[in-house]
Amino acid sequence: MKVVGLTGGIGSGKSTIARMFQNLGVSIYVADDEAKKLMNTDESIKRRIIELLGNDSYVDDQLNRTFIATIVYNDKTKLDQLNAIVHPAVAHHFDVWKNKQKGDYVIKEVAILFENDGQKQCDFTILVTAPLEDRIERVLIRDQTTRDQIYSRINNQWDDTQKIPLADFVIHNIDLEETENQVYEIHKKISS
């Protein structure tokens, strides 16, 4: 079973493109969602997050995402320490999930891939790009958020110019119909 990493900056269109692959029958693992689930359910992870970031990390036993985001997006060391807790658990969970899937390949959708050398765990990588201003506008429409909050996330992601040379496929996601055609072409190449 091949593993295809699907990545791209905030608002580039990863989830939109993942759905296009899903419509072609490909199983999708959304790493950030699974990470959040594990942070809410795995008692050992919860304990270590509280040790690292304090009791406010959970409210009514639920992950206090706003609190955690405020800390880690302003403190790179804390972000690295949080990732060191969460990433190995997600990697293990992904392996178990992957072994239950059918098809030629699965897609792992993940916001941060090249930044953590995650391409080493992938057979192929797909990078989604779009102009920065389009991405910000898309996220402002989609989420209740601010430009500042979006920028604090962008600041933890690499620039597209750093990621493009490392990717096997690059989808420039502007026109959705064109994107769909690119998805189909990539699907044929990976499946063959």
Q: What residues make contact with ligand ATP under the rule CB under 6 A? A: 8, 10-16, 111, 138-139, 142, 173-174, 176, 179
CA distance 71 to 65: 10
Name the minimum Å distance from CB 123 to ligand ATP.
Answer: 21
Looking at beta carbons only, is 51 or 159 nearer to ligand ATP?
Answer: 159
Name the minimum Å distance from CB 74 to ligand ATP.
Answer: 19
Name the minimum Å distance from CB 138 to ligand ATP.
Answer: 3
CA distance 100 to 73: 34
Name the minimum Å distance from CB 189 to ligand ATP.
Answer: 21
Looking at beta carbons only, is 5 or 8 nearer to ligand ATP?
Answer: 8
Token pair belonging to 80: 């690295």
Looking at beta carbons only, is 48 or 90 nearer to ligand ATP?
Answer: 90
Name the minimum Å distance from CB 192 to ligand ATP.
Answer: 26
User: HEC profile for 12-75?
Assistant: CCHHHHHHHHHHCCCEEEEHHHHHHHHHHHCHHHHHHHHHHHCHHHEECCEECHHHHHHHHCCC
Neighbours of 66 (CB within 10 A): 10
Looking at beta carbons only, is 17 or 48 nearer to ligand ATP?
Answer: 17
Looking at beta carbons only, is 46 or 182 nearer to ligand ATP?
Answer: 182
CA distance 137 to 39: 29
Whether 6 and 12 have beta carbons less than 8 Å apart is answered as no
